[in-house]
Amino acid sequence: MDRRIRGVRPVGNRALLAEVDGLAGVLALKAALAERPQPGLVDAVPADSTVLLKLSSPAAAAAMAGFLRSLELDEVSAGDGSLVEIDVVYDGEDLDAVGELTGLGRDGVVAAHTGQLWTAAFCGFAPGFAYLVGEDARLEVPRRPSPRTAVPAGSVSLAGTYSAVYPRTSPGGWQLIGRTTAAMWDLDRQDPALVRPGNRVRYRAVRATATLAAQPSSGQAPAQTGSAAGPGLLVHSPGLQTLVQDLGRPGFADLGVGASGALDRAAAARANRIAGNPPAEAVLETVYGGLRLEASGDHVLAVSGAVADLTVSGDDGERTAPLDTAFVLRDREVLTLGSPAAGMRSYVAVRGGLDLPPVLGSRATDTLSGLGPAPVSEGTLLGVKPAGLGAVVGAPEPQPAPAAGPVVLRIVPGPRQDWFSPDMLDRLCSQDWTVTPQSNRVGLRLEGVALERLSGAGLPAELPSEGTVAGAVQVPPNGLPVLFLADHPVTGGYPVIAVLADEDLDRAAQVPLGGQVRFTVADHDAAAGATAPAMAGVRA
């Protein structure tokens, strides 16, 4: 193994991609960071031959870059991790096909799969989904030509050089060779992940008539808390979609768990601040209006984000409530959010905060992994906590009206800009991109004149999976960019041509479907990055 890190690439203004010598280098760098913790490190995402390091500030990222460039890695055996044994019933739908692809036949595949030790290189795709590297190259097989829409939980699979177990029912294109009842991810355990990066795994063939693994505790539960008699907010209508959000759960990316959290962090923190809460308190994030809440008891609320009318109705008639200003919602009064005149997402904070159990330290709903409270539904009663001692309702904080036309988003060149000719960054910035209806909290899918990736020139046919960040502009083979938002996958396999300046993520969160964005290369100060005030509540 090369004792030096092969390269350090900036990923936006708060992350770095360290390129190392394969799995041995990944494990060695992880070990070095555990032995010599660096200030401001929020998350470390190991992958095929890279480790993505997410930092709390641009200054911390600069310091980390200096540390990495001077670091010499110690040899770490890929077999140093603890051993996990997984019992498998080998009767998968693709077992015969894998036998033909490898020339091993059905029994030969089982023998090769069980006759070696596998090492967990990294986690991604879903919480507890561990990419295992084996010792026997004969089992290397391609993904299926057409992915399945639903792979059952507990399915044991192969793809490329990896083996993995699907921790929950999800879409997937890996070759299925068996099944297990082992719970790969269970929040009822002290350590939710059965397999962590660096662990060794041995598969054991068993004969059984067992059914596929039941869904373990994933951490998503109904949002309803409290009782009809207690203080709270009763949902008459959730509108198009209403979720519970806070500032997210950083620190678990190596287990395949993204940070998630409010897309417009500044708006969520502002609503909390006005309502008299800490910035990381749980709020409601709702899209396109239509949310109707009835008060059980008297409450102080604040709404920020999209520009929308707020109407309060009760026994005394109807009145309007102001945005970005605290107001009282009295017992049995109903608050209705109108359709936004500008923006897309509104954030509703209530003094004291929503009374919901945290999952891995956060009350955020992650739509990709299924962690956190279930989406709010009609009839949900949201409990409200008592206000903390010294909690003071904030002064109004009116925001300037959004400008007309495309939303301008500042970018810095991405870690894989060398996968594109220089004129592709110009093409990215010289046109208005339309946000398609397929966009969601995972990312904005953009329509425009497609970007073209380089072929040949020493580049591999496919980019090995590597960690990614919110704000990454990833370019799939069709050339139409995807701008990752808070619920993006932990790792991705498409090259990132650019990354948003961190403080512009909040602007991207408010671009409606059918709206337009225009990218511009950030000046030096924006590239260095100003610390966003909304991040003050994020753990580092």
The rounded percent of the chain whose pLDDT value lies above 90 is 75
What count of other Cβ atoms lies within 10 Å of the Cβ of residue 147? 11
CATH level 2 (architecture), domain 407-537? Beta Barrel (2.40)
> For residue 80, which of 21, 28, 29 has the smallest C-alpha distance?
28
Q: Is residue 47's pLDDT more than 50? A: yes
Q: Where are the beta strands (DSSP E) in 147-187?
A: 148-151, 155-159, 162-165, 170-172, 175-179
Q: Is residue 121's pLDDT more than 70? A: yes
d(CA 390, CA 387): 8
pLDDT of residue 532: 38
> For residue 170, which of 151, 156, 185 has the smallest C-alpha distance?
151
3-class secondary structure, 466: strand
pLDDT of residue 455: 78
- Kindly indicate the confidence band of residue 397, based on its pLDDT and cuts at 50, 70 and 90: very high
Give me the residue spans of the domains in the chain. Answer: 7-70, 83-205, 220-383, 407-537
**277-289 average pLDDT score:** 97
Q: Is residue 227's pLDDT more than 90? A: no
Between 347 and 370, the more confident residue is 347
- CB burial of 309-324 (b: ≥16 within 10 Å; e: otherwise) equals ebebebeeeeeebebb
pLDDT of residue 226: 46
The structure's pTM equals: 0.88
Output the average pLDDT for the chain: 90
- Kindly indicate the confidence band of residue 24, based on its pLDDT and cuts at 50, 70 and 90: confident
Domain 83-205 and domain 407-537, same fold? Reply is yes
**214-240 average pLDDT score:** 71
- What secondary structure letter does DSSP report for 437? T
Q: Is residue 336's pLDDT more than 70? A: yes
Question: Per residue in 61-105, pLDDT tens?
Answer: 999 999 999 999 987 655 457 999 999 999 999 999 999 999 999
pLDDT of residue 533: 34
Give domain 7-70's CATH number out of 1.20.200.10, 3.40.50.880, 3.90.1330.10, 3.30.1360.40. 3.30.1360.40
- Kindly indicate the confidence band of residue 198, based on its pLDDT and cuts at 50, 70 and 90: confident
Q: How far is CA 452 from CA 145, 252, 328, 427, in A?
A: 23, 34, 54, 10
**Greatest mean pLDDT among 168-172, 190-194, 513-517:** 513-517
Ranking 102-116, 295-309, 433-447, 455-469 by mean pLDDT, the lowest is: 455-469
pLDDT of residue 221: 60
What is the DSSP track for 235-268?
EEEE-SEEEEE-S--TT-GGGT------SSHHHH
**337-347 average pLDDT score:** 97
Task: Extract the tokens encoding 497.
Answer: 């041509």
pLDDT of residue 228: 46
d(CA 484, CA 492): 11
CATH T-level topology, domain 83-205: Cyclophilin (2.40.100)
pLDDT of residue 536: 33
Contact 469, 52 (CB under 8 A): yes
pLDDT of residue 461: 73
Q: What is the dihedral of CA 105, 106, 112, 117, to 10 degrees?
A: 150
Q: Is residue 120's pLDDT more than 70? A: yes
> For residue 87, which of 197, 258, 204, 250 has the smallest C-alpha distance?
204
Q: Is residue 211's pLDDT more than 70? A: no
pLDDT of residue 293: 98
